[in-house]
Amino acid sequence: MIRMKSIWRVYDTGKVKVEALRNIDLFIQPNEFISIMGPSGSGKSTLMNIIGCLDVPTGGNYALEGKEVSKLHPNQLAEIRNRKMGFVFQNFNLLNYASVYENVELPLIFAGLSFRKRRKRVEEMLDRVGLVERRNHLPSELSGGEMQRIAIARALVNNPSIILADEPTGNLDSVTGKEIINIFEELWSQGNTVVMITHDPEISSRTKRIIKLKDGMIENDEKNHHNHQ
């Protein structure tokens, strides 16, 4: 589904050039459950942003579902993010003035769905994360775990090809974090593709593939055989 060939991402800050990604080759099949690990500054977020079409590589080729995306117009990238990517962030990134319902609805508005279709989808998603009855609450009225569940509902609402989570448990206590990972695992078992950045070996041990980055290069990429369930 994802095919990356010698991807480079160089930040040109004027004086120095930072090579955040160096010659990355990466293939991701449908219905994989992947964690990306590595020290701070190793390029995890940069790689995820490129996978998610939030950022474009400086060099190399990136084909998503067989289509080259590295040279697309920003509007086309926006469309891909809208339809094929579901982002979950460490700090939730919910709109604090919008209700739970409206937050989940947002990607559907950008997709141009009718009010009726939007309502149906939003309710399905809220049901899925178990927060239907909180639909009219503001994010500030929710706990961290609940906020992240709303963010997951929002990521899923447009039926994306891939769910990208950048340290989704980073701001949560370990119990709540586990609940969130449970949701990801369930999504994977239902056929979704999940890519998640984490520092926590306990969390990565539950994924099926672990990619280790170091200095912008893939240091290690292997199936996780210690998986027990």
Nearer to Mg ion, 45 or 169 (CB): 45
Taking CB under 8 A as the criterion, the residue among 30, 67, 71, 109 binding other proteins is 109
Instruction: Answer yes or no whether residue 89 interacts with other proteins by CB under 8 A.
Output: yes
* Residues of span 117-176 touching ligand ATP by CB under 6 A: none
Alpha helices in 36-136 (DSSP H): 44-51, 74-84, 100-111, 115-128
> Both tokens of residue 179?
């609940």
Show the binding pattern over residues 37-66: x = contacts ligand ATP (CB under 6 A), - = does not.
Answer: -x-xxxxxxx--------------------
**Dist CA 212 CA 222 (whole Å):** 9
Q: Which does 198 bind (CB under 5 to 8 A by kind): other proteins, ligand ATP, Mg ion, none?
A: none
Instruction: Answer yes or no whether residue 212 interacts with other proteins by CB under 8 A.
Output: no
> Both tokens of residue 98?
């919008």
Instruction: Answer yes or no whether residue 18 interacts with other proteins by CB under 8 A.
Output: no
Taking CB under 8 A as the criterion, the residue among 43, 107, 145, 216 binding other proteins is 107
Nearer to ligand ATP, 127 or 202 (CB): 202
Within 10 angstroms of residue 209's Cβ, the number of other Cβ atoms is: 18
**Dist CA 216 CA 95 (whole Å):** 32
**Dist CA 60 CA 189 (whole Å):** 32
Q: What 3-state class would DSSP assign to 141?
A: helix
Instruction: Answer yes or no whether residue 35 interacts with ligand ATP by CB under 6 A.
Output: no
